[in-house]
Structure 1
Amino acid sequence: MNVLLTTACALNTQSLDSAYLASPDLAALRTRLDEIADELHRLQADAAGCP
């Protein structure tokens, strides 16, 4: 399930470092990307806890 962690980290990096996403007009998109990344992190934690 490393793909979940990798994807979450990539989304976080994009929302933090993207010049395109730095536009104030795209604040809602940045927020949504952060929410998706958080959900992927939770899925990763759930998958890691499964036997």
Structure 2
Amino acid sequence: MTGYSALNMQQKQAIAQYLQSLPSLVELDRDDGVGLKRALGNYWGQFLPEEIDSV
């Protein structure tokens, strides 16, 4: 096993939630912010819990 396949679902979810929260925890420079958005959009976002719209 190599790379992300070595992680279980809970670990992937924890990483995704951390990445989502990171901008509110520290100030990111422009490049880091862009990279973070791409990472969430391209891969890690699929491990975030789905938000339920409240009406």
Normalised to the residue count of structure 1, the TM-score between the two structures is 0.47
Q: Which structure carries more helix by proportion?
A: 1
Normalised to the residue count of structure 2, the TM-score between the two structures is 0.45
